């Protein structure tokens, strides 16, 4: 299972810890988190982008961190 650290953007392999939480929108949910070996920050599972499957309903909202105007950078 791969995780990506939000602090240092490091990708690392970890067994993962299952965390259950309650989403106000989706109700009871569970996700796996890992802890960065460098900064020990809780990290979400990293999902590799799937080029063959584009979500058509995804409408990107304007992101303050976006580096381009066309949205081609992934934000």
Minimum Å gap between C-beta 42 and Zn ion is: 10
Q: Which tokens go with 38?
A: 């460098």
Contact residues for Zn ion, defined by CB under 5 A: 5, 7-8, 10, 36, 38-39
SS3 content of the chain, % helix, strand, coil (to 5): 0, 35, 65
| Residue number, 41 or 66, with CB nearest to Zn ion | 41
Nearest CA to 46 out of 34, 63, 38 is that of 34
Minimum Å gap between C-beta 39 and Zn ion is: 4
Minimum Å gap between C-beta 35 and Zn ion is: 9
């Amino acid at each position: 299972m791969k995780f990506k650290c939000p602090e240092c953007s490091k990708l690392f392999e970890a067994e993962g810890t299952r965390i259950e939480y309650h989403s106000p929108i989706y109700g009871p949910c569970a996700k796996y988190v890992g802890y960065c070996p460098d900064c020990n920050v809780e990290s979400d599972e990293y999902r590799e982008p799937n080029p063959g499957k584009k979500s058509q309903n995804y409408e990107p909202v304007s992101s303050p961190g976006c580096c381009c105007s066309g949205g081609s950078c992934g934000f």
